[in-house]
Structure formats: C-alpha cells, structure tokens
Amino acid sequence: MAEEQRFTPGPWWADDRWITTTQDDMVIAVVYDVDRELNASTARLIAAAPEMYEALKRAISQVEDDWHEVDNEEIPYCGICDVYLDERHTCFIGEWQAILAQIDGRES
C-alpha cells in the first residue's frame, strides 16, 4: 500500500516571496524577511520541497537493498558508506531515512 502524502502535492513554484501550486495557484507559503533577495532564494528552496521529497524516496529505494550487512552478528556495517555503524558512526542512508520520517511525521 502506498504511503499517503501529507502535504499539498507539487509541483510548487516561487515568485519573489510567494510559493504557490502550479495546479490552481493556491498559496502554500509567503516568505517575509527584510532582504528581498533572501526572500526569493528561501521561496525557491521551499518550492523545490516536493521534488526533493520524491527524489529522496527514489534514492533510498535504489540503494536500500544493499544497505546493511551484519558482521559477526553484532555490528551493522554499511557497505555503501564503508563504515561500521555505532553511536558515533552513521551512514547517509540512515540520515535520509530520518529526514523522510521527520517529513512524514514518523519516528525514525
């Protein structure tokens, strides 16, 4: 079963400080700052969020199968990051999964 998307579907676009949907021009957000150039760059970043979300999900699904192996049945190892995982070492896939969990409102 596909996960339900819990935000306004993209694509979104930014015009100065306004972020709107491309489907019906509904305003998603307005960025307010003293600096007009900063408003525009922040708005562009926010407008890219739906595409970044989908790209992150695709990236995780493409590398997830090769993610972790267990060495000596005790220490997880990420063959992609070439690191043994413990409280001091994480891999980028785990970081990506934590970001998706935050976006989806789940615990990582």
Q: Determine the Cα–Cα distance for residues 98 and 108; give it in Å rounded to an integer.
A: 5
For the stretch 42-58, pLDDT in tens is: 899 999 999 999 998 88
Q: What angle do CA 19, 24, 28 make, to 5 degrees?
A: 25
Can you give the pLDDT of all 108 residues of the chain as single tens digits?
A: 355 667 788 889 888 888 998 878 889 888 887 787 888 888 999 999 999 999 988 888 877 655 555 555 566 777 777 777 766 666 777 788 888 888 888 865
